[in-house]
Structure 1
Amino acid sequence: MGKLIELGVVGLFISAFLAATILPVSSEIILTTLLLNGLSPVTLVLVATVGNVAGSLVNYALGYWASLGVIKKWLRMSESEFVRAEQRFTKYGMISLCFAWVPIIGDPLTVMAGVLRIPLLWFLVLVTTGKLLRYIVVSYMVLHFS
């Protein structure tokens, strides 16, 4: 984490990108540190959002183009877990993509969007909305309650 913090906004972009994949990286720690060091909240929120959405696009592409076997292996999902994820996505629909930022369920949601061929424009609008709002709330809390 220290190296990413030293990279400033570039480190934030990298951490946000990786956090949207299955890698256990927390972009919130980098964001918080940079906010507390006086960097522009608007810039940081935008960089984190773009990086996080870009990482989600990788998941979408994996779901869209990879075989189901590769997807299950990458997500470490059994057949029954995969079926449940597909049922949840189908039950709640595209609006569930607004919650792509939620740990544990977010990555499978974005992969499932690719598997189900959700239109890319809707994917981008919904995922970006959820992730942008999350980073705004985190930034507000850091700046007003620290």
Structure 2
Amino acid sequence: MQFETLGISGLFISAFISSTIAPGGSEAVLAYLVGQPDAKVNLLVLIASIGNTLGALTTWGLGIWSSKKYSADAILSKSQQNALPTVRTWGAWALLFSWLPVVGDGLCFAGGWLRLSFYASLLAIFIGKALRYIAVAYIFI
């Protein structure tokens, strides 16, 4: 019971950190946990998806905050500047790809910068993250 609680908490924290600017290895944590006997795969995928989505929404919120204080040239990295036209064109649907390494953070930041709808952003981010974790879990079951 204690191992299961630590595993789920660790997965959530790893998924949250992995979705912010800091690098992380939530896929490896999920792969390990789904390989354990009696793993509750659906619960693990849900926990990882929620943690990763909340981390992405943190980056999204930083985009909103930054847009109020700084010009795009002064604060945005090259990948974030490149993401602005894509997110402007596709809107929240671009955030389905927020799970991609490197570009995903830029997409979330750009979504906040452009003040996309919170609920549409939340839905698109969650769907993209959940599909990725479902694929990882399926591979390692």
* TM-score category of the 2 structures, normalised to the smaller one: 0.7 to 0.9
Instruction: Determine helix, strand or coil for the equivalent of 1:7.
Output: helix
**Residue matched to 2:105:** 107
TM-score, reference length from structure 1: 0.83
Unpaired runs of 5+ residues, structure 1, are: none
- Residue 93 of structure 1: how far off its partner (Å): 3.0
CA contact (8 A) 2:49 2:129 kept: yes
Mapped partners of 1:120, 1:96: distance in 2: 14
* Contact residue 16 and residue 52 of structure 1 kept, 8 A: yes
The 1:16–1:72 alpha-carbon spacing in structure 2 relative to 1, beyond 3 Å, is: farther
- Provide the rounded CA distance (Å) in 1 between the counterparts of 2:65 and 2:73: 10
- Aligned twin of 1:55: 55
Q: Of 132, 135, 138, which residue of structure 2 is paired with 1:134?
A: 132
Correspondences of 1:1-146 after superposition (within 5 Å): 7-38=6-37, 39-66=39-66, 67-68=69-70, 77-78=77-78, 81-143=79-141
TM-score, structure 2 length as denominator?
0.86
* Cα offset, 1:44, TM superposition: 0.4
Q: How many residues align?
A: 135
Can you give the 5+ residue segments of structure 2 that lack an aligned partner in the other structure?
A: none
Deviations 1:82-118 (A, max 9, x none): 4322122223332111010010100011111111000
